[in-house]
């Protein structure tokens, strides 16, 4: 169910509230361009500044707007196990196809704490769970040995890996149960990860060029690595632009430049600074704006 290109979709705001009309347009843009799944309420969706009511409403809205055309994965992770269970239970009840669980941040649990956290969520909510390892955001790295133990739990089906380490990705694939799904969480190394056994990407860049990211993944998975490599290098300029500043500032700014959303963030995120001109130049090179 979860492979190929998937989008960690932004949350558009207007006047301080979620802009549902703009979000519906973004969802249609993604589906029209062949995206494999929509991931809502992730880091790119500014989940850290959503209230519980907004979070749950956003999950429900996305599921209804997608209407079964592609899978919907709900970001439901937290640094509190009880809160993670609560959000994951809601996602299941709302009809999400899976849940993405960021590793607990700030409190920096041990590897045993990480294992127990995920095991508790898996025991409480019977829905496909995807671990999310992004040490640069959370301050803690889920080690391959811990991932391997978690892969033995039936409804923990995979991991979004954003450590940036191909060695770690390789170790996870080597140590984990057969069929355990590894997805790229880093647009820069999606193709290298595919080459060692990953099955797709949860992408930031696909917010603006879903068809291009779909093409790269499909070409590789269909046995055309040369074509996938050409797509990889074509996308690198956009990948760099999406991380000129903290995600999701550049990608939301790009979508605003493309006329798809309002350029609005929630503090502590702010409007793009000196890198704005560089972003605009990159979008022009790709023909995304005039």
Active-site residue (options: 29, 92, 132, 252): 132
CB distance 187 to 242 below 8 Å: yes
In this prediction, residue 251 carries a pLDDT of 98
Q: Is 160 a catalytic residue?
A: yes
Active-site residue (options: 92, 115, 149, 160): 160
Nearest to 214 by CA among 230, 233, 204, 201: 201
pTM: 0.96
Residue-wise pLDDT tens digits, 62-93: 999 999 999 999 999 999 999 999 999 999 99
Given its phi and psi angles, is residue 68 left (phi above 0), alpha (psi -120 to 50 degrees) or beta? left
Q: Which CATH superfamily hosts domain 4-222?
A: Aldolase class I (3.20.20.70)
CB distance 130 to 181 below 8 Å: yes
Q: Is 233 a catalytic residue?
A: no
**Length of the chain, in residues:** 290
Over 33-62, what HEC string results? CCCCEEEECCCCCCHHHCCHHHHHHHHHHH
In this prediction, residue 1 carries a pLDDT of 79
- Tell me the domain boundaries of the chain: 4-222
Taking only the tens of pLDDT, the chain with its 290 residues reads 799 999 999 999 999 999 999 999 999 999 999 999 999 999 999 999 999 999 999 999 999 999 999 999 999 999 999 999 999 999 999 999 999 999 999 999 999 999 999 999 999 999 999 999 999 999 999 999 999 999 999 999 999 999 999 999 999 999 999 999 999 999 999 999 999 999 999 999 999 999 999 999 999 999 999 999 999 999 999 999 999 999 999 999 999 999 999 999 999 999 999 999 999 999 999 999 99
- Residues contacting residue 233 through CB under 8 Å, at least 6 positions apart: none
């Amino acid at each position: 169910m979860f492979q190929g290109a998937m989008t960690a979709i932004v949350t558009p705001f207007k006047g301080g509230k979620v802009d549902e009309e703009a979000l519906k347009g973004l969802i249609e843009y993604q589906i029209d361009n062949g995206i494999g799944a929509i991931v809502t309420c992730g880091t790119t969706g500014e989940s850290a500044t959503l209230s519980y009511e907004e979070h749950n409403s956003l999950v429900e809205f996305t599921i209804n707007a997608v209407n079964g055309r592609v899978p919907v994965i709900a970001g439901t992770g937290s640094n509190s196990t009880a809160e993670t269970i609560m959000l994951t239970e809601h996602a299941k009840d709302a009809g999400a196809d899976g849940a993405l669980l960021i590793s607990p941040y700030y409190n920096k649990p041990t590897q045993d704490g990480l294992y127990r956290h995920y095991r508790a969520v898996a025991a409480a909510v019977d829905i496909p769970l995807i671990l999310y390892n992004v040490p640069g955001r959370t301050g803690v790295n889920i080690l391959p040995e811990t991932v391997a133990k978690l892969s033995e739990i039936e409804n923990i089906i995979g991991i979004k890996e954003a450590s940036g380490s191909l060695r770690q990705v390789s170790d996870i694939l080597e140590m984990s149960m057969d069929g355990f799904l590894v997805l790229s969480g880093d647009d820069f190394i999606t193709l290298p990860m595919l080459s060692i056994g990953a099955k797709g990407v949860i992408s930031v860049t696909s917010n603006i060029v879903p068809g291009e990211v779909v093409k790269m993944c499909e070409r590789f998975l269909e046995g055309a690595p040369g074509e996938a490599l050409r797509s990889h290098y074509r996308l690198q300029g956009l990948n760099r632009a999406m991380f000129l500043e903290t995600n999701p500032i550049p990608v939301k700014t790009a979508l605003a430049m493309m006329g798809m959303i309002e350029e609005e963030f929630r503090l502590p995120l702010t409007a793009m600074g000196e890198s704005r001109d560089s972003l605009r130049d990159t979008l022009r090179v790709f023909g995304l704006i005039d």
